[in-house]
């Protein structure tokens, strides 16, 4: 199948896209009708690449061009291409589709919305300053799953060091801990305004975003005579059922 060359003097072959240039799309089972000019609106996008020059897509049984991707939010992408109108809901999901199709104007405008601005410019910029944050989240989930056998809860100890000064007390603090020291996951220190509570909220949010039920509680240590009590430790509690 080939794309139309719009030469009125040439007869379209039966395998060419209709001269009308209306295109039927099947995006993961969701059917859409649009024009070639709409799909080609942004020349550096993936859609313009797919529908410019030689065809790069197969067709389904109805003759629709098939894109093997969830089409739940493709309508919002198509509406932006048609009218420059942004969606009013599902902003993060549409943003992912915009990135996939490399529609840069849509990506930029979505990232300027309140829903994404705080996440990308505020929270993610903060977390980028917390050493090994993403790796630590993965470690927490892995440890929790390993401890979930025949138990309703998995309790993981985390240590949060807000400043370089806190880091200086780390060895003494970890040695004073009654729990298994080898399984403690440590966050920080970081050079940014957000507090320990802000970081704990981020940890909880990012774990819950993966489908887990989790809560955070301070770990209260007993303070003995002539010893210092360290408030760097928190219990991360996964609930399985």
Query: Whole-angstrom Cα distance, residue 69 to residue 176?
Result: 52
Six-digit token string for 9: 């003097």
Residues 54-64: tens digit of each pLDDT: 767 899 999 99
Six-digit token string for 55: 């065809």
The pLDDT value given to residue 17: 46
The pLDDT value given to residue 112: 96
Q: What is the total residue count of the chain? A: 241
Which long-range CB contacts under 8 A does 163-169 form with residues at least 24 apart?
A: 163/188, 163/189, 164/189, 166/232, 169/230, 169/232
Q: With 80 as the cut, is the pLDDT of residue 198 above it? A: yes
Higher pLDDT, 228 or 100: 100
The pLDDT value given to residue 182: 78
Residues 135-185: tens digit of each pLDDT: 999 999 999 999 999 999 999 999 999 999 999 999 988 988 876 777 899
Six-digit token string for 173: 């603090």
The pLDDT value given to residue 35: 94
Burial environment of residue 13 by CB neighbours within 10 A (0 to 12, 13 to 18, 19 or more):
exposed
Query: For the residues 6-35, what does the mean pLDDT come to?
Result: 69
What fold does the segment set 22-112 form as a domain?
A: Potassium Channel Kv1.1; Chain A (3.30.710)
Residues 72-105: tens digit of each pLDDT: 999 999 999 999 999 999 999 999 999 999 999 9
Q: Hey, where are the domains in the chain? A: 22-112, 133-239
């Amino acid at each position: 199948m080939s794309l139309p060359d719009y030469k009125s003097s040439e007869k379209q072959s039966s395998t060419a896209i209709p001269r009308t240039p209306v295109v039927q799309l099947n995006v993961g089972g969701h059917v859409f009708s649009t024009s070639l000019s709409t799909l080609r609106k942004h020349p550096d996008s993936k859609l313009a690449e797919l529908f410019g020059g030689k065809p790069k897509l197969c067709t389904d049984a109805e003759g629709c061009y098939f894109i093997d991707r969830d089409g739940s939010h493709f309508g919002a992408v198509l509406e932006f291409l048609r009218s420059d109108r942004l969606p009013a809901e599902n902003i993060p999901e549409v943003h992912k589709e915009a990135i996939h199709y490399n529609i840069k104007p849509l990506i930029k405008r979505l990232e300027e919305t309140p829903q994404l601005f705080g996440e990308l410019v505020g929270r993610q910029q903060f977390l980028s300053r917390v050493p090994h944050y993403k790796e630590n989240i993965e470690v927490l989930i892995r440890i929790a799953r390993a401890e979930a056998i025949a138990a309703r809860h998995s309790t993981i100890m985390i240590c949060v060091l807000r400043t370089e000064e806190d880091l200086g007390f780390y060895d003494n603090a970890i040695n004073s801990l009654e729990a298994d020291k080898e399984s403690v996951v440590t966050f920080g220190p970081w050079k940014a305004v957000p507090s320990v509570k802000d970081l704990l909220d981020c940890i909880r949010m990012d774990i819950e975003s993966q489908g887990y039920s989790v809560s955070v509680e301070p770990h209260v240590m007993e303070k003995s005579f002539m010893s210092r009590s360290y408030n760097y430790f928190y219990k991360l509690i996964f609930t399985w059922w």
